Structures are given as C-alpha cells and as structure tokens.
Structure 1
Amino acid sequence: MPDPFTRPRAEPSTRSGILLVDKPGGMTSHDVVSAARRLAGTRKVGHAGTLDPMATGLLVLGINSSTRLLTFVVGLDKEYLATIRLGEATTTDDAEGQVNSSAAAGIVTALRQHEIDARVDELTGDIEQTPSTVSAIKVDGKRAYALAREGIDVQLKPRPVTVSEFEVLSCTPATSATGADVLDLAVRVVCSSGTYIRALARDLGRSLDTGGHLTALRRTRIGPFTVDAAADLDTVVVADALLSPAHAASELFSTLHLSDEQSIDLGHGKRLALRDAPDETGPVAAIAPDGRLVGLVGVSAGAAKILANFPADEPQSGPVES
C-alpha cells in the first residue's frame, strides 16, 4: 500500500470540509477513504464517485458534516482522459481482464481516421449504454462483478447516459503483448454521471469490428472541482488542504448571504422572508457573516426554507473566498 498507511494517525478531529485527492493507480476508492480517515482523525469520511483500482485522478471526499454535500456532487458531469486500445477485447473491457478476442489480420492497420471519427460521433450525445458486466451495479441484491466472478452470466440492461464530448486526441499504432497489431487512441470524454468509459471503449471496438478495451483512465474533473487542485495522498496535510463547507457549497450552488439574526433563525429551522428573491430550482448555500455555511436552503415564493443544516459548533476550515 502507498505511504499514507504508514504515516502517523492524526489526532481526533471534528473539522469539516471537502478534500480533493488525486487517487494513485492500484488503490481502490475505499483504500483512499481509509487513508483519509487516518490522516483526518475521523471515521466520518465519504467519497463522491468511485474510481476503479486501475484508474487515477480526482476523488472528492467529504470530511465530517461535509459528507452531506457529497449527495450533490455524485450526479455532476465528469471529465476523463483515457487510452482506448483497438484490436483486442477483454473479459472486463479494460486492461485488468484477459484478452478474449483479437481483430483479424489487417483490420486494425487498415483503419482510417474518418472511420474512427464517425463511430466516435455515434457514441456522442444522448445514448443508451449497457454497463460492463464487471460493474458495481446490483443484480438481485448482488454486485454484477461478484456474479461474474462466480461464473454467472450477467445480463445488464442498457441505460440512458449523456456523452457531451468525445474527442480523439491522438492515434498510436502499437503491438500488443500477444503480438497483435493494435491502435491506441488517446481520448478525452465529458459525460454524465453513470457513464462507463470502458463501455465506450468496448462499444467503439465493436462498431469498428476490431474489439476494444480501456488501458488507462484518469478523471480530471467532477463538476467545478478539478484534479489540478487535488492533493497527493502521500504528502497531504488534511487541515491545510480542506476546502471549507462554505467554499465548496459556493462552488456548487448560488449563495445567500445572511445577517446575524437570519443565521440564528435559519439555524433554528425557521423560514426566512426574502424580499424580491427569485425562485431557485436547486439548493442555495446560506452563508453567515463570519463565512460559515449555515445550511442549504430552498428559495421559493419569497422565502427560504432549510434543506440541510450544518453544525454551528463544528470547526470549519475558514471563510468562503470572495
């Protein structure tokens, strides 16, 4: 395991915030959560959006009461950089599986850019996607990947997803470990929550009659949060890297700046009268004069009603940035 598991355990802390972590390859998302619990000094750590062990990149963690914000992060759009290998399909649709089919001789070397671009276009937009059989989707109460490991034939239903951007950055001819001619595509994908990039690799390979699978995956963005702002798990000082609840909420939602009296009233669950305030379709971050996140509110018909409170007595990580 990486170094975070050998670093000293932090003193118990109730400090709240959002922690952006650049997950290294070879770790599960649960491994990252376990390390963060050790480094943050609390059991109250959750994450928004799992990454496979093979994948690297952005994990958004919630610490203590800020785990309440993760509900609103999970469904945001995501951006990935990936490598798709055309010419071989695998049992898992990625490099962790066994190669179970290879393209016939000459098919990969005969591919032309316009053919690839046409098939990529067909996988862009609002599409129906069948998840990989080794996904974490539950079938009759069991994870699909667990059933697949037991040798059970798993049939998952197609589901609607949105691939808003699917861009081929480069094409590199290569030779696989089995000696087959393959073509490695570096791609960038922006998609809705629930989209499987390895399923895109599989489907692209099928449409070109070459087979295809994912050999590398890096998540670079979730909603407004980017991997460029993420910390290295081996060296992170959680207290320094935490985004305050108010800062994170202000990135996610519109903001409502309260008076001291309004902050007290809202903290007690009272509705606030807001003169001429427009209705909001989603939550609004209610910020106290001292920069603390009081809660998330719904604004409708000139009033604000609390949706989720944040503890007033829990230390937070600084005021919202202007």
Structure 2
Amino acid sequence: MAARSLRGIFAVYKPPAVNWRSVRLTVETGLVHDLNASECPLPHDQIRFLPTTSQGISGTETNLTVAQLPALANHPRVLAVGSGNKQLSYLQDCHLTKEYTVHGSFGTATEDFSDTGRLIEKTTYDHITLDRLERIIAVIQGSHQKALITYSGIDLKSQAAYELACRGMLRPLHKSPPIITGIRCSQFSLPNFTLEVQCVHETQQYLRKIIHEIGLELKSSAVCTSVRRTRDGVFTLDDALIRTDWKLQQISSAVRRSQPRVAAALREDSWRHTALSGMAVPERCPVPTEAEP
C-alpha cells in the first residue's frame, strides 16, 4: 500500500529564489495526484457481532450473529506523510547542526548585507590578507564556543561535559540565539571569499550579517553573494530530491532510506539527555527501519 510507505521524513532540493511554501505545495500536489492514480486496495473485512431479536417461548430474545463487514476507513490518505511530523518535531528538539557554504565579496556594503541590496558605500580591500581573515574567523568561533557551552546547560567540570565533548554532542539544550559551532575559510581570492559554516538556530539573514561584520572587523566592508545549505541535521545534498523526483515512488524510497538515520539521531539525543540529567531517558520516538504494515 503506497500510503503506508509515507510515514517518515525526507528532504527535497529548494531552487534559489523559490519560496518554501511553493515547494511544499508542489510536493503535496504531486503526492495527491500519484496516490489518486494508484490502485486502491480492497477494504479489509472486520468481524462484528450484530444483535438480532427473535420471538421465543419466554418472549423476545436477543441473540448475537457473527458478520463480516468492510472496514471502510482503511483507505490511503496523504496524511500518512504527516505522521512523520511528530518525528520531525522530535528531530528539531535535538538541535542538530546545519552546514552552509557562504560566499562573500569585499569592497561594498548594502542595506540587507546581500549583493542585490541597495548600495550604501564602497571601500578598499587591498590590505586584507588570508591570515587576517582567519584571525577574525577564529575570534568569531571562540566567542560562539562560549555561547554554546552556556546554552548547553552543562557543568564544564562534570563527567557529562567530558563525554559529550568527546562525542561531539555539545548542543543547546533548548532554543537559543544563532550559534556557530564551526567556521573556516575554504577559498580566498580578493575580493571574493568562501566560508564553510556549521551552526544551529540560524537564519540566512544572520549568515549574511556575519559576512558584513567580518568586513567591518577587517576595516573594510563585505556583502554576501550566496548562501547554500549543504547539510540539515542527518540530511545532506545527496538526500535532497530534485524537482523531477517529487513523485510518490521516489518520495517513498527517500523516506525508507532516511528512517535508520533519523532513529539513530533520536537515540543519540536521548543518550545526551541521559548524560545531562543523570537518569534514564526513554527513547521518545521509536522509528521503524521499514515501513509499518
């Protein structure tokens, strides 16, 4: 049954300049079309005991008769995809990091920190070197590392802090301001540069502002020319379905492939809460490795 394979989470590729609501509507429309075009399975029969009356010696008697009736509610629904919403909510509570490739350019400043915004000023940038840029990046990462420790809610001297740090699981315990957990320069060719950023609770506007602030720290200015997310929690670009794959079969396959990783992430987060609280934390959302029957 096609709808039963749609209980889970999957990733799609959102093209630039396309609103996420438009992407969601397109995916939902495609799923409805494919589900309606698929063969509808016959309803399963259910056993019911129906009361019947008859006239006996002592008057009216009530008897129970066994009958087989169709279970009319057992039909495919697109809401089967929505059953993964609970898993998604738990996954968001894990506060997993995201990775971005952020491109910037020195020499200009705009109102919205992007290269398409209204120009505010132009500045020189010939004095900027890779070494100076990397020193600013190190300062940014150091300040955000302190914030990460603060919002993780752990005692640095505790065994839990040591175990979480060894496993790379220092994350905010609750919702926090944007925190950069890792940042490095992967390309530098004046006036252009590229940063690889790992962060939590960020927005694209925040990432553009980081580029702007780097320009200011280097006695210049800078704008963000593009932002591309390369990983979202357990999902990477390889998992993202392109527009031609937003179909029932491809989405069902993507859901099945993601289930083991989603389950592993939820179990790991339960272990993290156990380490923080010192008491057993039950697995909050068991996820099957196969589609449920």
Superposed displacement of residue 13, structure 1: 5.4
CA gap of 1:184–1:199, structure 2 versus 1, over 3 A, is: same
Q: Which amino acid aligns with 2:199?
A: C
Superposed displacement of residue 81, structure 1: 0.7
Superposed displacement of residue 116, structure 1: 0.9
SS at match of 2:216: helix
1:183-222 aligned within 5 A: 183-194=191-202, 196-222=206-232
CA distance in 2, matches of 1:116, 1:281: 45
Name 2:168's counterpart in structure 1. Answer: none
CA distance in 1, matches of 2:118, 2:24: 29
Name 1:253's counterpart in structure 2. Answer: 266
Identify which of 132, 138, 148 aligns with 1:115.
Answer: 132
TM-score of the aligned structures, taking structure 1 as reference length: 0.54
Name 1:127's counterpart in structure 2. Answer: 144
SS at match of 1:285: coil
1:82 touches 1:218 (CA, 8 Å); kept in 2? yes
Percent identity of the aligned residues? 18
1:89 touches 1:211 (CA, 8 Å); kept in 2? yes
- Structure 1 gaps of 5+ residues are 1-11, 43-61, 129-158, 174-182, 256-277, 294-311, 313-322
CA distance in 1, matches of 2:286, 2:231: 22
1:95 touches 1:215 (CA, 8 Å); kept in 2? yes
2:185 paired with 1:168: yes
Identify which of 73, 83, 99 aligns with 2:103.
Answer: 83
Superposed displacement of residue 126, structure 1: 4.4
Q: Which amino acid aligns with 1:253?
A: L
CA gap of 1:238–1:209, structure 2 versus 1, over 3 A, is: farther
TM-score of the aligned structures, taking structure 2 as reference length: 0.59
CA distance in 2, matches of 1:30, 1:101: 34
Name 1:279's counterpart in structure 2. Answer: 280
2:104 touches 2:222 (CA, 8 Å); kept in 1? yes
1:22 touches 1:230 (CA, 8 Å); kept in 2? yes
Q: Which amino acid aligns with 2:267?
A: S
CA gap of 1:249–1:170, structure 2 versus 1, over 3 A, is: closer
Larger radius of gyration: 2
Superposed displacement of residue 33, structure 1: 0.9
Superposed displacement of residue 246, structure 1: 4.3
CA distance in 1, matches of 2:284, 2:263: 11
Name 2:114's counterpart in structure 1. Answer: 94
Q: Which amino acid aligns with 1:114?
A: D
CA gap of 1:208–1:238, structure 2 versus 1, over 3 A, is: farther
CA distance in 1, matches of 2:116, 2:239: 29
CA distance in 2, matches of 1:22, 1:109: 37
* Per-residue Cα deviation, 1:286-316 (whole angstroms, up to 9, x for no partner): 54xx9456xxxxxxxxxxxxxxxxxx8xxxx
Q: Which amino acid aligns with 2:90?
A: F
Q: Which amino acid aligns with 2:9?
A: I
* Per-residue Cα deviation, 1:126-149 (whole angstroms, up to 9, x for no partner): 439xxxxxxxxxxxxxxxxxxxxx
CA distance in 1, matches of 2:114, 2:11: 26
Q: Which amino acid aligns with 1:91?
A: E
CA gap of 1:30–1:76, structure 2 versus 1, over 3 A, is: same
SS at match of 1:167: strand
Superposed displacement of residue 226, structure 1: 0.7
1:125 touches 1:164 (CA, 8 Å); kept in 2? no
Name 1:230's counterpart in structure 2. Answer: 240
Higher strand content, 1 or 2: 1
Q: Which amino acid aligns with 1:283?
A: R
Name 1:67's counterpart in structure 2. Answer: 85
CA distance in 2, matches of 1:32, 1:248: 24
SS at match of 1:20: coil
Superposed displacement of residue 117, structure 1: 0.9
Name 2:39's counterpart in structure 1. Answer: none
- RMSD, aligned CA: 3.0
Q: Which amino acid aligns with 1:108?
A: Y
Higher helix content, 1 or 2: 2
SS at match of 1:33: helix
